[in-house]
């Protein structure tokens, strides 16, 4: 294998695991992230809106799914080049 194929495989793996991590963080920590981002300075109590929670949940999920799709496309292109 040449170094370009090794780099391609490494990039594919990094994109896949990075996307998986983003999806996990979005679903598991979206509410916590929204609460931290919406807290006013010096406040002891505050309300986090439903829209903010949804934004902090689904934005990382969309980015993660996009990275996973990009890694699948890249691996398909590498496999086609490897066959030729």
Q: CA angle 12-62-26, nearest 5°?
A: 100
Q: What is the pLDDT of residues 1-23, one digit of tens each?
A: 678 788 888 999 999 999 999 99
Whole-model pTM: value is: 0.83
Question: What's residue 8's pLDDT?
Answer: 84
Domain boundaries, the chain: 10-83
Q: How far apart are CA 49 and CA 55, in angstroms?
A: 10
Q: What is the pLDDT of residues 20-55, one digit of tens each?
A: 999 999 999 999 999 988 888 888 888 889 999 999
Helix (H, G, I), strand (E, B) or coil at 43: coil
């Amino acid at each position: 294998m040449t170094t370009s194929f090794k780099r391609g495989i490494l990039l594919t793996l990094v994109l896949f695991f990075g996307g998986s991590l983003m999806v996990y963080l979005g679903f598991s920590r979206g509410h916590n992230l929204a609460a931290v981002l919406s807290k006013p300075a010096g406040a002891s109590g505050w309300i986090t809106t439903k829209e903010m929670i949804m934004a902090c949940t689904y934005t990382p999920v969309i980015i993660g799914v996009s990275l996973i799709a990009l890694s699948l496309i890249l691996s398909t292109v590498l496999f086609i080049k490897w066959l030729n």
